[in-house]
């Protein structure tokens, strides 16, 4: 598969995904998701400059 073909395939997937969401066809959209999906929102912390500002131990949520 060429890079152009891969780009087209990815774009078609995103257009299909957007169409399902815009049409409120959530069950069909859920079928597009991989079984091993992880949805996480890490907690940002105020740190001194140069220090990591995302906690690896806490988060707002972590779902699968």
pLDDT one-digit tens code per residue, 4-55: 999 999 999 999 999 999 999 999 999 999 999 888 888 887 777 877 677 7
Residue partners of 16: CB distance under 8 A and separation at least 6: 32
pLDDT one-digit tens code per residue, 49-63: 877 677 777 777 777
Residue 39: the pLDDT is 85
What are the Cα distances from residue 43, in Å, to 13, 37, 47, 61?
30, 19, 12, 9
Could you tell me which residue, 3 or 61, shows the higher pLDDT? 3
Give SS3 for 63: strand
Residue 57: the pLDDT is 77
Beta-bridge partners for 54: 44
pTM above 0.75, yes or no: no
């Amino acid at each position: 598969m060429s890079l152009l073909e891969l780009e087209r395939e990815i774009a078609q997937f995103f257009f299909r995904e957007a169409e399902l969401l815009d049409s409120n066809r959530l069950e069909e959209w859920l079928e597009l998701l991989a079984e091993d999906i992880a949805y996480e929102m890490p907690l940002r912390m105020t740190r001194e400059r140069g220090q990591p500002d995302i906690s690896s131990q806490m988060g707002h949520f972590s779902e699968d």
